[in-house]
Structure 1
């Protein structure tokens, strides 16, 4: 099991052009959220790759957990503009990040988990993840 968690963390880290500090924090968030939601590392790797075919409640709650840990949302799935723009602008064009935020800020859902999952899909389609 530890191998699969490590594999998922490596897959997440390799797919994102973030700073070393962001990658380290992201790895911690992934590990914590896998433990909290029970989502498999393989599912996390698929999610990171843009495969949204596994969209059950646990996967959606993984998205909420990760976004909450990154301070992109609160526990209700409400987005934090300053954290999103500030943290994602470190390695991306700030104007592109702000445009993505404007596109995705109104995303809704049937629950906090669903709302965060839908926001992740929106930001992913905007090229931020």
Structure 2
């Protein structure tokens, strides 16, 4: 499993499993896949796990560029965001499980216009917007 394509497929699968588990709870396999995605993006960006976890409580420090790029890493690894920071709605339609699609898709589409000066800023602003719109729907690995 060394190629970029294989890794993206693994992350795509883990993302779908994660979204499904929001309703049904985590299996050990789902937790392992999500932890792998989290670890990869933490290592790639230098963000801290504490900073990521704090966003689940609504804490989004505006000056943490590593955290911003962590979010970009998550979206990009799923092939749901371009290198320029544009959300691919077609990919979202495939990624989101049916039982969550209406709620999450609407929030993401609404928040994708949050803007930013860089792709990392855009990803961060999308996450912050989703939290502010509906904190119960917010998630990050």
Q: Shared topology, TM-score over 0.5?
A: yes
In structure 1, the partner of 2:121 is: 114
In structure 2, the partner of 1:52 is: 60
Deviation of the 1:106 alpha carbon: 1.9
Paired with 1:26 and 1:55, the residues of 2 have a C-alpha distance of 26
Deviation of the 1:29 alpha carbon: 1.7
Paired with 2:103 and 2:46, the residues of 1 have a C-alpha distance of 33
Name the CA shift for 1:73/1:83 in 2 (closer, same or farther; >3 Å): same
Deviation of the 1:54 alpha carbon: 5.9
Deviation of the 1:91 alpha carbon: 4.3
> Does structure 1 residue 40 correspond to structure 2 residue 45?
no
Q: Give the total of aligned pairs.
A: 114
Paired with 1:64 and 1:121, the residues of 2 have a C-alpha distance of 13
Q: Which runs of structure 1 show a deviation greater than 6 angstroms over 4 or more consecutive aligned residues?
A: none
In structure 1, the partner of 2:34 is: 26
Q: Which has the higher contact order (CA 8 A, sep 6+)?
A: 2
Offset from partner CA, 1:43-88 (integer Å, 9 cap, x none): 1211233321364111111111111112221222110112223323
Scaled by the length of structure 2, the TM-score of the pair is 0.66
> Does structure 1 residue 17 correspond to structure 2 residue 22?
yes
Could you say which structure has the higher helix fraction?
2
Scaled by the length of structure 1, the TM-score of the pair is 0.71
Paired with 2:97 and 2:122, the residues of 1 have a C-alpha distance of 23
Structure 1 gaps of 5+ residues are: 1-12
